[in-house]
Amino acid sequence: MADLLNHFAFQTIPFTCEIDTSKRCSFDFCDEVLAELITTVERRMSAALIGPAGTGKTFLIRQLYSHLPEARYRVRYMKVTDLSKRDMCREIATVVGAPPVGTYPALVRTLQETFVSSMTNDGLRPVLLIDEGHDMRPSVLGVLRLLTNFEMDSRLVVSIILSGQPPLLKLLKRNTLTDVAQRLAYCGTLRLLTREEVTTYVNHRLVIAGGQAEWFARDAVEAIHEISRGNLRAIDFLALRSLQRAADNDKDVVDANQVMDARSKMAL
Return the domain boundaries, the chain. 28-189, 193-264
pLDDT at 265: 82
Q: Provide the mean pLDDT of the chain.
A: 93
Query: Quick one: average pLDDT of 251-264?
Result: 93
Task: Tell me how many degrees the CA angle 104-106-107 measures, rounded to the nearest 5.
Answer: 65
pLDDT band of 196, cuts 50, 70, 90: very high
Query: Quick one: average pLDDT of 42-55?
Result: 96
Specify the fold of 28-189.
Rossmann fold (3.40.50)
pLDDT at 213: 85
CA 124 – CA 117 distance, rounded (Å): 9
243 SS3 class: helix
Q: Percentage of the chain surpassing pLDDT 90?
A: 83
pLDDT at 96: 95
CA-CA distances (angstroms) from residue 184 to 41, 46, 49, 104, 188? 11, 5, 10, 23, 10
- How do beta strands 73-79 and 46-50 pair? unpaired
Burial 214-237 (b: 16+ CB within 10 A, else e): ebbbeebbbbbbebbebbbebbbb
pLDDT tens by residue, 86-103: 999 999 999 999 999 999
Which of 27-41, 135-149, 174-188, 219-233 comes out lowest in average pLDDT?
135-149
Looking at domain 193-264, its CATH class is mainly alpha
CA-CA distances (angstroms) from residue 130 to 47, 48, 133? 11, 9, 6
